[in-house]
Structure 1
């Protein structure tokens, strides 16, 4: 993630003002970590049903995946594991409000893997942490630097977006339209 972007920039393969990253679930964690650690490197970040409140989720053994995933992620009850989890958890490491790229976060009401409260809490934390409350954000543009959008899937869809071929295509079109707007937002005609 972070090293690959640095290499692409150093080699001149990409325009650093036009990079958008996208990740789903644990990939959303990676996208969120990049958003937190190197926000200046991205025009936009798409975090779909992101696993971003790592400490809270991994501390709750009543959730369906938690205990089985302690071997992979670590158990927050162990102080060493807790420190590592906290070091990259996007919910625990919000970037400064003035350096943030545009962010599109999704959540799904019926997702049993990443409960909707996790991405919703992250969005609320980011919005609350913006002392200007988005004063520098252009309200007519969903892709201004610092914009934090939340798309909640309330239908029968779950972890991978809406159910049904046409609903899934519409969803992908929304994501791609937003990504293209981010890429073109800072570009000269």
Structure 2
């Protein structure tokens, strides 16, 4: 039997999407099983991102929560200290930029992919601890993206983030301008 790696990858991505999103829809996944399933999906996503983007792995980037239209990620201070003992600005940029692609992987089929067009960062305060960011995309916004990609071959979307240290203080904000496209319409 010969495996087509593209088909295998598409199949794995579909399984991962189902795993990450199903716990909101499945009655049998309650309590510890629901938490375990989400934790496993986050670990699998983190591993996939690390394989695709080696800097993500080296910097310790981690998906900590995922769901329909939702993603929370973290980057550790210990791996990203700079020469003045604060978090390296590039690590904060990475934390703000990667979730756009991950949200696409989890919430859309393999027919869609995002491109980052512009990412603006505002560094507000020194980060001297781990930092997290959360992004939410409404169901209406996801439907708009799918509809526009089908009609026009592409659709623009915006992700705004607040990067927070372990005490909950906002250390940076981000504004990412993305474009969703379809593989079949290249």
Tell me the TM-score normalized by structure 2: 0.23
Higher relative contact order, structure no. (Cα contacts within 8 Å, ≥ 6 residues apart): 1
More strand, by proportion: 2
